Structure 1
Amino acid sequence: MSKTNESTRITETKKFKNGWGYWWRTGRVELPDYIVERDIRRHYTRLRKSGNVLGLVGLRRTGKTTFLKLTLKRLDDLERACYFSFDLEGVSIRQLVEVFCERVLGEPISELEGEVHFLLDEVHNLENWSRHVKHFHDHYDNIQFTVTGSSTANILKGAGESLAGRFSTMRLRPFSFREYLRYHDIEPAETSLDSNEVPRNARKLRVKFDGYLKDGGMPELYRMENRRERLEEVIDLVFFRDVVELFDVGRSEILSGIFRILAQNTGQRVNFANICDSLNSDFRTVTTYVNYLEDSFLLSRSMPYRKSEMSRRRKNPKIYVADHSYADLYGAEKGLIAETVAFNHLSRIEKPQYMRDPEIDIVLPEKELMFEVKHTSEIKENTISRVAEKAKDERFKPFLVTEDVLDTREVSDAEVHLIPLWFLCLASS
């Protein structure tokens, strides 16, 4: 790295050195041993080749900052990459780009000798950040940006106004079960929904899955004491910094009440009228606040499977919390927590829906797969028959998600695949 005395003087001023962090002082990326690669790594690499500005969005405590530092560590030319955190005021994007290119690399911005990567953390703290990113993106082909922010809705909103057609988003979700295993130094073999082969270390995986159900998918909380209290603190931060401020919520107590009710009833069809009565609020406020929570990635909506789009919109959705730790925190039933785990896992494959009359919990229409979640080892024959009949009617491949049973049952010329929840959460497709 080209470091002149002048560049050192400028970048070691107070406003820059806090943002550069350890990378500037040591020239290398240092991360704790327990940090793991995320499953979206290949997706990130593919999007980066598109040349668009990339926005990494997701809930607090899902590891966005860590992902940026892992990205920095994996770059072929570390010396031409700049990680900077904007959690402190005083530095603009223009200042950062000019100082790094001209004073650190020693190259005029208009004559860069190769690609330069800027990984900008907490960029939502800057007003009009997207306008400045757009300027460099449009005028300098060798400059690439990846941005993150805790206020994810603000990231999307700001990018939509200035970076239309130039911005690609990638969502970082809470840990999957596979990532949880990797955190505990276990790398399970690749598997799919078509596989009936039990892994050799199935007992160990089953025990770890019990830990996953208890710990949830927020990796930054795993090593903290009093995790339930810290999880409550995270929720408060999301409410009051990422939702209330951004959307100008007038009644924060209604917002938190809605989330509590939906977390307790995760995976259930929503009756908005009942929520209005419970919180002494009006229908418009409740539905608007639910949209805010969804836009902030605290909730996900599942609509009924119908061939007609208008028909789907007229029906009440099922709503799931983004991580099963929220459901556990608010005392949801174990069966609903299990369904939430299944839903959030399958959301990584395709946007799920659900079926009615009779109800099937989760369906993936594009892949023509359906899943009924019964997290128990005592599976009733009438449940298997109901799933089989529905699968024949809809011509979907049926799965019955159990606690420990892995089997295939043939009913009325239809095969129903019984699959443990922990096994489902290892399947990539």
Structure 2
Amino acid sequence: MEGLIRKSERKARSVKERKRRYLYEKIDWDQKLIILLGYRGSGKTTLLLQYLSSIQRKGIYVSLDDFYFETHRLVESVASLYELGYRVFLLDEVHRYGWWSKDLKQLYDDYEDIQVVATGSSILDISKGKADLSRRASVYRLHGLSFREYLNFQKNIDLPTLRLEEVLNKHHVMGPELLDTFNFDTDFPNYLRYGYFPYFLESKNDYHQKLQETIQLVIDTDIAPFEELQHSTTRTLKKLLFVLSESVPFTPNIQKLASKLETPRNTVLRLLDILDQAQILLLLRSSTKGISYLQKPEKIYLQNPNFIYLFSPTMANIGSVRETFFLNQLSAVHSVTAPKFGDFMVDDAYVFEVGGASKTTDQLQGIPQSYLALDIKGGSNRSVPLWLFGMLY
């Protein structure tokens, strides 16, 4: 127990001066049970420790993948810490702990005056497990860095968050003002290559190696145990990811994929859904309501542009990079679906075609509330600079 307390104190001291992710200000910290979900390396642990450093009540940070919990139950540990005066419990990596849902439910029900903030993999489904936490927990999802956040972390440029309507209606005014604060020709391409996860601050040279190692970890230690995948299924999942990485954006022919992978069609659909939930892929569907994993997506993307440069470091298709950036940034804060015409529909209201400077509005003729998202510095009328969609969160 003393070891857990010492680790918590040491970890809290290490993050006091770091910048806060966008989600910190959006969380209702008065809630009794808060669950933060997100991809490895997105900053969940730092967010927990920043909160620990800001509170007045006695709190402790604990990682549930600590060897201590191989032989100790969380509920018993909290009971002991409660007697020592602790009232705020920040629990990291809950998906690595077999009793996560049952113990969180018991803590919620047994103690009136404690707060629990837990983090878990993006694949964590709080309605599953041995106890349904969906009626008790406030759930938040932490995405990777937006382009706006990247500029803040990399260059200490604190730009405002923009609403989508502002980007569409005022981009010709706001764009030039924002361009005065950074170098478009270097900063935007750098973000697309290595700016999505905060650990680029540690080393840009090793960034893509870290990306690859993290994807392996997510598959082997997050997805496989949590989804109870057999070793052969895990290998199929990795093979599926490799096949898709060579051809994204990918309009899926599920039967052909199944034949290539020598696995049943429904298994392919399930694995695609798992990779989407794990934030390795982005599945673009025709609707976001009432969707079953058995319905094939309209298009498959890697989850963020950095992944494209990981799998194709010298041959990344710039068209794919642009579309992936748009889908990644918009889907973090809006509903994005596949329209009948154009590349993307946002909030069932706006249609977008994504491309380079030479793309015209010909494909959008007759489509109301339609726009071009172009890889250009400044826009006009319905031609909106692509990079501005990185200012939405």
TM-score, scaled relative to structure 1:
0.79
- Match status 1:80 vs 2:81: no
Q: Helix, strand or coil for the counterpart of 2:319?
A: helix
Cα distance in 2 between the residues matched to 1:315 and 1:135: 38
> What is the correspondence of 1:104-115 to structure 2 with a 5 Å cutoff?
104=85
Matching residue of 1:141:
112
What residue is the counterpart of 1:423 in the other structure?
388
CA–CA distance in 2 between the matches of 1:300 and 1:310?
14
Separation (CA, whole Å) in 1 of partners of 2:157 and 2:200: 19
User: What's 2:376 paired with?
Assistant: 404
Cα distance in 1, alignment partners of residues 380 and 98 from structure 2: 57
- The alignment of Structure 1 onto Structure 2 pairs a total of residues equal to 375
Aligned equivalents of 1:70, 1:386: Cα separation in 2: 48
Partner of 1:378: 358
**Secondary structure, in 3 states, of the residue corresponding to 1:235?**
helix
Change (3 A) 1:263 1:174: farther
SS of residue paired to 1:145: strand
**Hey, what's the Cα distance between the residues in 1 that align with 2:287 and 2:141?**
24
The alignment's C-alpha RMSD in Å is: 2.8
Whether the 8 Å CA contact 1:19–1:86 is kept in 2: the answer is no
Kindly indicate whether the alpha-carbon contact (under 8 Å) linking 1:405 and 1:418 is maintained by their aligned counterparts in 2.
Answer: no
Which secondary structure does the structure 2 equivalent of 1:244 belong to?
Answer: helix
Deviation at 1:314, TM superposition (A): 6.0
Equivalent residue, structure 2, for 1:42: 25
Q: 1:271-291 deviations in whole A, cap 9, x for unaligned? A: 212322333333222112112
The 1:153/1:349 distance shift into structure 2, 3 A limit, reads closer
CA distance in 1 between counterparts of 2:358 and 2:383 reads 12
What is the identity, as a one-letter code, of the residue corresponding to 1:122?
A: E
Matches of 2:305 and 2:283 in 1, distance apart?
Answer: 15
Q: Do residues 328 (structure 1) and 309 (structure 2) align?
A: yes
2:209 is matched with which residue?
Answer: 229
Distance 1:353 1:319 in 2: 12
Name the counterpart of 2:148.
Answer: 178
Q: Distance in 1 between matches of 2:136 and 2:287?
A: 33
Amino acid aligned to 1:188: L
- The DSSP-based 3-state class of the residue aligned with 1:326 is helix
For 2:145 and 2:256, the matched residues in 1 are separated by 32
Deviation at 1:347, TM superposition (A): 0.9
Give 2:234's aligned residue.
252
Give the 3 Å change call, closer, same or farther, for CA 215–228 of structure 1 in structure 2: same
CA deviation map 1:96-149 (0-9, x unaligned): 3223322245xxxxxxxxxx3211112233322222222221232211111113
Distance 1:261 1:31, change over 3 A: same
Q: Name the amino acid aligned to 1:253.
A: R
CA contact (8 A) 2:333 2:392 kept: no
Quickly say closer, same or farther: Cα 1:257–1:315, change in 2 above 3 A.
Answer: closer
Task: Tell which has more relative contact order, 1 or 2 (C-alpha 8 A, sep 6+).
Answer: 2
Deviates more, 1:173-182 or 1:94-103: 94-103
1:294 Cα deviation (Å)?
A: 2.0
Structure 1 or 2, whichever has the larger Rg, is 1
Maintained 8 Å contact 1:304/1:315: no
Gaps (5+ residues) in structure 1? 1-10, 106-115, 410-416
Residue 262 of structure 1 is aligned with which of 244, 255, 271? 244
Q: Is the 8 A contact 2:281 2:301 kept in 1?
A: yes
- Change over 3 Å in CA distance of 1:133–1:312 after alignment to 2: closer
CA distance in 1, matches of 2:286, 2:16: 44
Retained in 1: the 8 A contact 2:102–2:130?
no
CA distance in 2, matches of 1:343, 1:312: 20
CA shift digits 1:332-354 (9 cap, x unpaired): 41111111111111112212101
Query: What secondary structure does 2:90 align onto?
Result: strand
Identity %, equivalent residues: 23
Give the counterpart of 2:179 among 174, 199, 202.
Answer: 202
- Match of 1:74, as an amino acid? S
Contact 1:215 1:222 in 2 (8 A): no
TM-score, scaled to structure 2: 0.85
Distance in 1 (CA, whole Å) between partners of 2:277 and 2:112 is: 32
Secondary structure of the 1:400 match is strand
TM-superposed CA distance for 1:400, in Å, is 0.3
1:243 equivalent to 2:227? Answer no
Q: Is the 8 A contact 1:272 1:283 kept in 2?
A: yes
Corresponding residue for 1:124? 95
Counting only pairs closer than 5 Å after superposition, residues 343-358 of structure 1 correspond to structure 2 as 343-356=327-340
SS of structure 2 residue aligned to 1:161: coil
Distance change >3 Å, CA 213–CA 32, structure 1 → 2: farther
> Once the two structures are superposed, what CA deviation does each residue of 1:173-206 show, in whole Å capped at 9, x if it has no partner?
1111111111021112443322221243516241
CA distance in 2, matches of 1:71, 1:264: 41
